[in-house]
């Protein structure tokens, strides 16, 4: 895997997809004199561009494929119809800009070290962890220990997935340490996620640690990290968007409404079925009609079609998109406590999320009051005849887990973490899964396939090559 990501590609990101924080990009003399031979970019500009790259990686085609494979979305036409039939090859995936963005996150750290700037270095480490966490969750064994030194390691080894997870925890520990430093250089102008608030970045790092511990089944550690994680919806890591075509549109809106209307939708997907079953249940403490309508609007592309709501819901042009959120943080605590058998604490965390939903807040937008109800649960609600135990699971623990898992599935829409859950829950004990049906065939997709470009250039690619139905080791 070569270090393809030149400064020129950063410029391309910022020019094509740029946000308002990038408006001073072209003040660099090197860029003004020869944009094809950029030799240096200051760390502030580099940070803005890398944030943009990380943002793109949370709204890209890979996220749509993961959402389809988790049963949240369906592919209805062209390439995405094939994805829904689990038809992929090494040509279907690419590590550009995945690894290039990771390379830039590492370069941020080098440049920050040169001026003794621990805060910016800490942000760079969080961004690096976000990139590699996506890579290893979707592909399994991936390059990390040798990934960003193409001079010494032009063909880096593929580290075992468990080793990558352990290394990411170290990267995040180092990030938290740097973000805890008493001083650092201000970067609020370049930071369109948290406006330079290092306390929020530190909390996000802890939430990411908790997510990764949940993946590996380290529930006590997940709880410990999440307890230091995002502590309110004001700390959500959201990608801001606007309404300028080709500049700052929400990428889901661009795909669903502008460029590929009708290629994907909720027809035939499990998500609307789950939401409707919850709406139509005898659970008098919950009404998710408003959330259903926030996600789904009927008849945008064809009469009766269940389309992503690009009109007045989750996928409008200017809708923020989540990277890490308070709701996810609390649901990590809820599931981890439930798996450890501490149902009181699990219920408290779940009810905290429900209290937030009761206000109407979802990823920076507001649900209407009509059709919105999230009263607090009690443990009795999860008994064998309880109103929150529609499948009549035998224990309070498993019924509570089912509700937590269902709420995660609903709230993680269009985030690749839903696909991680889809695979993770088959292994986590006690085993509690949603009845997500296959779109086709008899095998569940388990991973993305290594890109052809990597196969062609790196002899360290695993051999034999795993296909999309081969499980990754962590899940």
The string of pLDDT tens digits covering residues 253-307 is 999 999 999 999 999 999 999 999 999 999 999 999 999 999 999 999 999 999 9
C-alpha 290/C-alpha 369 separation (Å) is: 8
C-alpha 206/C-alpha 212 separation (Å) is: 10
Give the list of residues 6+ apart from residue 301 with CB closer than 8 angstroms, or none: 261, 262, 265, 307
Name the pairing type of β-strands 296-298 and 306-308.
antiparallel
Element (DSSP H or E) covering residue 375: none
Name the pairing type of β-strands 306-308 and 361-362.
unpaired
**DSSP three-state, residue 307:** strand
How do residues 305-327 score in pLDDT, each as one tens digit? 999 999 999 999 999 999 999 99
Count other Cβ atoms within 10 Å, centred on residue 29.
8
The architecture (CATH level 2) of 7-457 comes to Alpha Horseshoe (1.25)
The confidence score (pLDDT) of residue 21 equals: 36
C-alpha 296/C-alpha 274 separation (Å) is: 13
The confidence score (pLDDT) of residue 3 equals: 39
The confidence score (pLDDT) of residue 246 equals: 85
CB–CB of 141/470 below 8 Å? no
C-alpha 89/C-alpha 96 separation (Å) is: 16
Burial code (b: 16+ CB inside 10 Å, e: under 16) for 161-182 equals: beebbebbbebbebbbebbeee
The confidence score (pLDDT) of residue 77 equals: 97
Handedness of CA 94, 159, 71, 342 (dihedral sign): negative
How do residues 16-70 score in pLDDT, each as one tens digit? 343 333 333 333 343 334 444 344 789 989 999 999 999 999 999 999 999 999 9
pLDDT bracket for residue 373 (50, 70, 90): very high
Quote the longest CA-to-CA distance of the chain: 73
> Closest by alpha carbon to 412, among 341, 331, 303?
331
C-alpha 322/C-alpha 58 separation (Å) is: 8
The confidence score (pLDDT) of residue 377 equals: 98
C-alpha 90/C-alpha 214 separation (Å) is: 29
C-alpha 47/C-alpha 111 separation (Å) is: 10
The tally of CA atoms less than 13 A away on the side-chain side of residue 362 is 26
The confidence score (pLDDT) of residue 81 equals: 98
The residues spanned by each domain of the chain are 7-457
Residue count of the chain, please give it. 475
Give the list of residues 6+ apart from residue 399 with CB closer than 8 angstroms, or none: 382, 383, 384, 386, 388, 389, 391, 393
Handedness of CA 348, 423, 206, 10 (dihedral sign): negative
C-alpha 408/C-alpha 66 separation (Å) is: 15
**DSSP three-state, residue 321:** strand
CB–CB of 426/475 below 8 Å? yes
C-alpha 208/C-alpha 54 separation (Å) is: 14
């Amino acid at each position: 895997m070569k270090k393809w990501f030149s400064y020129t590609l950063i410029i391309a990101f910022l020019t094509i997809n740029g946000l308002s924080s990038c408006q001073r990009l072209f003040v660099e003399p090197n860029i003004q004199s020869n944009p094809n031979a950029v030799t240096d970019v200051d760390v502030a500009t580099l940070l803005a561009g890398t944030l943009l790259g990380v943002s793109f990686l949370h709204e890209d085609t890979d996220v749509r494929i993961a959402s389809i494979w988790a049963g949240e979305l369906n592919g209805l036409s062209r390439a995405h119809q094939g994805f829904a039939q689990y038809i992929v090859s090494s040509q279907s995936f690419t590590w550009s800009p995945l690894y290039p963005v990771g390379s830039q996150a590492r370069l941020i750290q080098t440049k920050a070290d040169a001026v003794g700037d621990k805060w910016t270095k800490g942000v760079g480490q969080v961004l690096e962890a976000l990139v590699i966490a996506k890579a290893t969750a979707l592909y399994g064994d991936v390059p990390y220990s040798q990934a960003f030194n193409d001079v010494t390691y032009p063909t880096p080894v593929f580290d075992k997935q468990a080793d990558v997870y352990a290394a990411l925890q170290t990267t995040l520990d180092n990030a938290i340490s740097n973000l805890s430093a008493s001083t650092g250089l201000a970067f609020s102008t370049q930071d369109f996620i948290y406006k330079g608030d290092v306390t929020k970045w530190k909390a996000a790092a802890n939430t990411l640690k908790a997510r990764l511990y949940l993946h590996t089944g380290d529930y006590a550690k997940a709880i410990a990290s999440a307890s230091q994680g995002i502590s309110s919806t004001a700390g959500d890591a959201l990608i801001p968007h606007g309404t300028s075509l080709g500049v700052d549109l929400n990428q889901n809106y661009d795909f669903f409404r502008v460029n590929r209307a009708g290629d994907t939708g909720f027809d035939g997907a499990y998500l609307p079925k789950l939401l409707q079953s919850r709406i139509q249940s005898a659970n008098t403490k919950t009404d998710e009609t408003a959330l259903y309508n926030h996600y789904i609007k009927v008849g945008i592309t064809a009469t009766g079609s269940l389309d992503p709501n690009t009109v007045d819901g989750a996928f409008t042009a200017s809708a923020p998109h989540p990277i890490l959120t308070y709701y996810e943080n609390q649901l990590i605590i809820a599931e981890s406590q439930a798996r450890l058998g501490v149902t009181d604490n699990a219920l408290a965390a779940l009810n905290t999320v429900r209290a937030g939903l009761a206000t109407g807040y979802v990823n920076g937008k507001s649900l209407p009051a009509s059709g919105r109800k999230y009263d607090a649960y009690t443990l009795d609600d999860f008994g064998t005849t309880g109103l929150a135990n529609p499948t009549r699971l035998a224990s309070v623990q498993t019924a509570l887990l089912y509700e937590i898992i269902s709420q995660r599935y609903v709230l993680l829409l269009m985030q690749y973490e839903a696909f991680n859950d889809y695979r993770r829950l088959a292994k986590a004990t006690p085993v509690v899964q949603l009845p997500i049906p296959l779109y086709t065939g008899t095998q569940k997709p388990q991973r993305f396939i290594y890109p052809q470009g990597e196969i062609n250039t790196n002899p360290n690619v695993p051999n034999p090559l795993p296909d999309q139905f081969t499980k990754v080791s962590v899940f």
